[in-house]
Amino acid sequence: MARDHDHDHDHPHDHSELSETEVRVRALETVLTEKGYIDPAALDELIETYETRVGPKNGARVVARAWSDPAFRTWLLEDATAAIRSLGYIGRQGEHMVAVENTATTHNLVVCTLCSCYPWPVLGLPPVWYKSPAYRSKAVRDPRGTLADFGVALPEETEIRVWDSTAEVRYLVVPMRPAGTEGWSEEALAGLVSRDSMIGTGLALAPGRTGEMKP
Amino acid sequence: MNGAQDLGGMMGFGPVQPEPHEPPFHAEWERRAFAITLAMGAAGSWSLDASRFARESLPPARYLTSSYYQIWLAGLERLLEERGLVGADEIATGHALTPPKPVRRVLKAADVAATLGRGGPVDRPPTAPARFAVGDAVLARNMHPEGHTRLPRYVRGRAGVVEAIHGCHVFPDSNAAGRGEQPSWLYGIAFRGRELWGEGTDPRLVVRVDLWEPYLEGA
């Protein structure tokens, strides 16, 4: 039977626990599926990919290789797209890669002031703070203040280069290799490479402070 | 366009708030919004540039008070409605009310890995020689187009130096508007912090911005 004509519309509906946004997403997914524009199984696969397979561990492996293999480091700095591809990290939002290296005198920091451009194949999906107005507005004008928000202080004489990803070129920061890691395996080195250190809002971890990164 | 997306240099948003051990998604609806956006992008009815324009076309007050995936969702709804693929009445009722229109392809689960792996490279063969060389002094044009642009406001009218030539890339301003890719040379331009932000700026700050040739003039 159809809904009573005197149905009270202030009365909670069956999805009363859902926010307006949740209702809209559900509605849209249903309509797109009914119209045959999308395959729900493909959605599950997309989510699975970025929740469990693609993440900053990929980038950490790239950095650890650059730290241990001088030829790879040179290749990475000259043609990051090809060097990163050689490790199997390719595809969407990583089509045109550039690696920038931190040194004793220069620190690099990456931002996208216009949206949320980020190198997905090596870092996964960007964290909320990377996409936030606070970070996008402040990083290009006051990078030292931005770094302070992350608890990072650099010597006053360090040059700071901020990379605004305004095109499809995606940037990966190669942090400085921590002291006391001579002779470490690539795998052990990768454990010191935090996601933030590859954006430039952090530094590589000191030995003994291994990161806890998702895949 | 001079929308709320163009945030470089704005003040008042407070400190950046990192979240330790942040998960890729914070709610089930974010997972679904992310995935339907990517799946519909793969359907081939619009470009990435067009979807960026749809998001930044939100009224500034709404853009700045929406969460990231709410902005994605609003942009997606706009693109679907503009192209007649989904009507507002269908989103309101949560069911298809009109027959589907043809789309170029439907992304299947088995094709996800290959599709993501291919990505969408935007480099194109040059149609003319590059106008600028590494080391050249350039000026970012002072232009305020109402359509999509990737020339941030904070560099307009400012002097910089060409540091890199990335090759010819799809030009977002024309591509977002459906006027074709019009590949143009893309340069990495270095701006001194003081040139952008004036007195009191850290003298050791350099900001590198990727800018297409139509955004630049010789200095």
Instruction: Kindly report the CATH number assigned to the domain that includes residue B36.
Output: 1.10.472.20
- A116 in any annotated domain: yes
In a domain, A150, yes or no: yes
Whether A124 and A54 have beta carbons less than 8 Å apart is answered as yes
Residue that terminates a domain, selected from B87, B118, B149: B118
Q: How far apart are CA A127 and CA A116, in angstroms?
A: 10
Rg (CA), chain A: 22
In the predicted structure, residue B136 carries a pLDDT above the cut 70? yes
Residue B175 belongs to domain with CATH number: 2.30.30.50
In a domain, B12, yes or no: no
Nearest to A134 by CA among B151, B52, B12: B12
Determine the distance in angstroms separating the CA of B217 from the nearest CA of chain A, rounded to an integer: 18
In a domain, B213, yes or no: yes
In a domain, A159, yes or no: yes
Q: Quick check: B59 contacting A, CB < 8 Å?
A: no
pLDDT at position A5 = 42
Q: Is residue A39 part of a domain?
A: no
Please indicate if any CB of chain A lies within 8 Å of the CB of B36. yes
CA distance A172 to A94: 10
Residue B18 identity? P
- Regarding whether B140 and B113 lie in a shared domain, the answer is no
Query: B83, B118, B153 — which closes off a domain?
Result: B118
Domain-located, residue A24: no
Q: What is the pLDDT of residues B45-65, one digit of tens each?
A: 999 999 999 999 999 999 999
Q: Tell me: ipTM over 0.90.
A: yes
Tell me the H-state helices in A124-175.
Answer: 128-131, 133-138, 143-149
B112 and B167 in a single domain? The answer is no
Global pTM value: 0.94
* Interchain contact A50–B (C-beta under 8 A): yes
Name the residue among A123, A115, A109, A9 with its Cα closest to residue A61: A123
CB contact under 8 A, A92 and B92: no
Q: Is residue A40 part of a domain?
A: no
Residue in B with minimal Cα distance to A135: B16
Q: Is the dihedral of CA B92, B97, B101, B102 positive or negative?
A: positive
Range of the domain at B76: 28-118
Of residues A3 and B31, more confidence is placed in B31
- What pLDDT score does A9 carry? 44
Residues B100 and B144 in one domain: no
Whether residue B75 is predicted with pLDDT greater than 70 in this model: the reply is yes
Q: Any CB–CB contact under 8 A between B50 and chain A? A: no
Alpha helices in chain B (DSSP H): 28-42, 48-56, 60-65, 68-82, 88-93, 112-118, 172-176, 193-197
Q: Give the residue from chain B lying closest to A28, CA to CA.
A: B91
pLDDT of amino acid A208: 79
A32 occurs within a structural domain: no
Q: Please give the residue range of the domain that contains residue A169.
A: 57-199
Task: Locate all alpha helices (DSSP H) within A79-208, ordered by sequence.
Answer: 80-86, 120-123, 128-131, 133-138, 143-149, 186-190, 195-199
Residue B3 lies in a domain: no
Q: How many domains does chain A have?
A: 1
In a domain, A51, yes or no: no
Catalytic option among A16, A68, A86, A112: A112
Mean pLDDT split into 10-residue runs, chain A, 215 residues: 41 61 96 98 98 96 98 98 96 96 98 98 97 98 98 97 98 97 96 97 88 51
Tell me which of B83 and A8 has the higher pLDDT: B83
Chain B residues touching residue A146 (CB < 8 angstroms): 16
**Proportion of chain B above pLDDT 90, given as a percent:** 98
Number of domains into which chain B is organized: 2
Nearest to B208 by CA among B169, B172, B155: B155
Contacts 24+ apart (CB under 8 A), B130-135: B130/B165, B130/B185, B130/B213, B131/B185, B131/B213, B131/B216, B131/B218, B132/B162, B132/B165, B132/B185, B132/B187, B132/B213, B132/B216, B132/B218, B133/B162, B133/B165, B134/B162, B134/B163, B134/B164, B134/B165, B135/B161, B135/B162
**Residues of B in Cβ contact (< 8 Å) with A90:** 117, 119
> Using alpha carbons only, how large is chain B's radius of gyration in Å?
20
Instruction: At A97, give phi and psi (nearest 5°).
Output: -100, 145
Q: Establish if B10 belongs to a structural domain.
A: no
- Dist. CA B85–CA B82, nearest whole Å: 8
Does B34 fall in a domain? yes
Residue B19 inside a domain? The answer is: no
* pLDDT of the residue at A6: 42
pLDDT computed for residue A109 by the predictor: 98
Out of B95, B106, B113, whose CB is closest to A31? Answer: B95
Is the per-residue pLDDT at B188 higher than 60?
A: yes
Are residues B39 and B114 both part of a single domain? yes
Give the whole-angstrom CA distance, residue A207 versus residue B36.
Answer: 42
Q: What's A81's domain CATH number?
A: 3.90.330.10
Residue A210 has a pLDDT of: 61
Q: Would you call A149 and B16 a contact, using CB atoms and an 8 Å cutoff?
A: yes
**Statement to judge: residues B44 and B96 lie in one domain:** yes
User: Both B198 and B146 in a single domain?
Assistant: yes
Which residue(s) pair with B185 in the sheet?
B168
